[in-house]
Amino acid sequence: MKEEIKKFFKGEVSDDESTLRTYSHDASLFEVKPKLVVYPMDSEDIQKLVAWVEENKKNDPTLSLTIRAAGSCMSGGSLNESIIMDVMQHMNHVGEVKAEGTVVQPGVFYRDFEPKTLEKGLILPCYTASKNLNALGGMIGNNSAGEKTLRYGKMENFVLETKAIFADGKEYVVRPLTRNELEAKMAEKTFEGGVYKDIANLIRAHNALIESARPTVSKNSAGYYLWNVWQDDMFDLNRLLVGSQGTLALVTEAKIRLVPVEPKSRLFVVFMRDLSHLADLVNEILPTNPESVETYDDATMKLAFRFFPEMLRSMKAKSFFKLFFSFIPEAFMMLRGGIPKLIVLVEYAGKTDEEIEIKMKTLEKKIAHFGFVMRETKSEEESNKYWTIRRESFNLLRKHVRGSRTAPFIDDVVVEPKYMPEFLPKMRKILDDYKLVYTIAGHAGNGNFHIIPLMNMKDKANIQVIKEVGEKVYNLVGEYHGSITGEHNDGIVRTPYLGKMYSKEILELFKRTKEIFDPSNIFNPGKKVNGSLEYMESHIAIE
């Protein structure tokens, strides 16, 4: 296979054991060894490879192709037993940075992209907490979101146009179409025209069913977003491609919208002794138009203090000692009354410090009746200490816990914020019944929480724990009509559980959507549709 591909492929092709071992893993629980890893030079390489896989699939049914960017996916979305295509090496270019549309390739690290946008006073605000690790291709594939999603929305709101390679091996420009443009496209006797025709007819024939399946939560990465394709009387297949984990088409370029950066921002911090008033608190906060409402739990706070020196170093403060002493109030607070159950970070942004100060004072008066301990940060550096705890806890867990590893399998649940005081204790009881060690952090304004247990994966009994806890937590999410994944997508870990959210009829529409785009099942099989618990279980990495 390697020699055949090298005949037409300009980029590198690797099948040595070291490379295959590296690409057997991402940030998920799983290990899936590919046959081959390729590094395309450009879109032409990908088009030729897709055409080759499509042509040879009849002789080798195991052939498939998975596009991979930074490999930071926590659901196993970038793993595949056939060919992995790494776009980070060569397809990592950024065009002229413009608010109305900046052209990027999928292999661009967000950490390299953000400084370019900040030079122009602009930002892509749906960045994730792991923004130093991930790439724009993964953000598109997973429909990423983060701390600013409360105000700005998810990645789907920022992709204006893409170039995508369909299963016929040809690259197409995908953009919003008017009704007349859609009719003309549907009339074309091409593979692309057939995709538009079949998807439009699918949505038209099942519109009421599709609309009834639209999740009521503000964040969702589960399934195919058939309810999003029609937007303001425009038909936009990008609303389907974003979040599809490379299962429908391969995005080679995207034009993305950026927003102006607010020059000033600070945090208002609330320390909660219990969760009984969490929904009431969030409902008081939201009308004040915060930039974000984030949370982390007592386990995360303990982790920060356990690895305090390293946490301080990661903050890159101008004055180490000044930052060190800034934590004294938190230390005294915990000595007097213990660690709060939940720390709530309310970020306000604006053009001036005075504008932010007014917002903070307004919030302080609104929530004074709760009797919570509150703190108004006075500088960006002071705000940064809380953000660092929120953002770095996962990395600290991954680096320091011996004999166990982070096990992201229920890591991204969403319920409406009004249900949080009921939902969170019930979910924690499930975890506690299995004596799991875990941290909880998340986006309280969206009711989205990241639960990261620590588990010894050398103990095979934990595979059964993962299955049982997953079943119970996702059943609980279903009871509250939430989403099993707000940001991290389905991948290997959640595709088998999509029935907890969607009816059998909707799952059949998802399968039909996959068949329309990818009739030979060459793009990232087993994700979004046709996943199984057996496959998931058999590919958990035993370390």
pLDDT tens by residue, 254-285? 999 999 999 999 999 999 988 888 889 999 99
Is 48 part of a structural domain of the chain? no
Q: What is the CATH number of the domain that holds 140?
A: 3.30.465.10
One domain for residues 267 and 254: no
For residue 169, pLDDT beyond 80: yes
Give 203-224 pLDDT, tens digit per residue.
Answer: 999 999 999 999 999 999 999 9
- Judgement on whether residues 291 and 348 belong to the same structural domain of the protein: yes
Q: Are 484 and 500 in contact (CB under 8 A)?
A: yes
Mean pLDDT to the nearest integer, 434-439: 90
Residue 31 lies in a domain: no
Q: Compute the chain's Rg from CA coordinates.
A: 23
Span 26-37, pLDDT tens digits: 999 999 999 999
Do 124 and 253 sit in the same domain of this protein?
Answer: yes
Which of the pair, 150 or 323, is modelled with greater confidence?
150
Query: DSSP per residue over 482-528, as a string?
Result: -BS-SSS--HHHHGGGGGGTS-HHHHHHHHHHHHHH-TT--BSTTSS
- Statement: residue 365 has pLDDT above 80: yes
- What is the per-residue pLDDT for 52? 98
Q: Is residue 136 part of a domain?
A: yes
Counting the structural domains of the chain, the total is: 2
Residues above pLDDT 70, as percent of the chain: 92
pLDDT for the residue 492 = 98
The answer to whether residues 320 and 192 belong to one domain is no
- The answer, yes or no, to whether residue 337 has pLDDT greater than 70, is no
Average pLDDT, the chain: 92
Q: Does residue 239 share a domain with residue 152?
A: yes
Q: Do 173 and 272 lie in a common domain?
A: no
Within this chain, do residues 291 and 177 fall inside the same structural domain, yes or no?
no
Of residues 229 and 392, the one with the higher pLDDT is 229
The pLDDT of residue 310: 66
CA 539 to each of CA 67, 80, 83, 460: distance values in angstroms, whole numbers, following the listed order: 19, 11, 17, 12
Is 15 contained in some domain? no
| pLDDT for position 347 | 95
Residues 355 and 207 in one domain: no
User: Which whole number is the average pLDDT over 310-324?
Assistant: 57
245 and 287 share one domain: no
Assess if residue 452 is contained within a domain. no
Mean pLDDT of 114-130: 95
Contact 457, 542 (CB under 8 A): yes
Could you tell me if 143 and 224 lie in one domain? Answer: yes
Work out the pLDDT band at 401, boundaries 50, 70, 90: low
Quick check: is 375 in a domain? Answer: yes
Question: Residue 327: is its pLDDT beyond 70?
Answer: no
Higher per-residue pLDDT: 70 or 380: 70
Q: Are strands 65-68 and 448-455 parallel, antiparallel or unpaired?
A: unpaired
Res. 94 pLDDT band, cuts 50 70 90? very high
Range(s) of the domain holding residue 211:
102-260
Where does a domain end: 198, 230, 260? 260
Average pLDDT over residues 478-495: 97
Residues 6+ apart with CB under 8 A from 145: 126, 128, 153, 154, 155, 219, 443, 446, 448, 486, 487
What CATH number does residue 363 fall under? 3.30.70.2190
In this structure, of 39-48, 91-100, 328-337, the range with the lowest mean pLDDT score is: 328-337
Domain-ending residue, one of 400, 417, 432: 400
311 and 367, same domain (yes or no): yes
The pLDDT score that the predictor gives to residue 543 is: 67
* Residue partners of 492: CB distance under 8 A and separation at least 6: 28, 30, 32, 75, 76, 77, 79, 526, 527, 531, 535, 536, 539
Q: What is the pTM of this model?
A: 0.93
- 511, pLDDT greater than 90: yes
pLDDT of 392 higher than 80: no
What is the average pLDDT across 121-142?
95
| In a domain? residue 326 | yes
| Pick from 82-91, 219-228, 422-431: least confident | 422-431
Same domain, 187 and 281: no
Residue 297 has pLDDT above 90, yes or no: no
Q: What percent of the chain shows pLDDT beyond 90? A: 79
- Listed residues 208, 230, 260: the one ending a domain: 260
Query: Is 21 within a domain?
Result: no
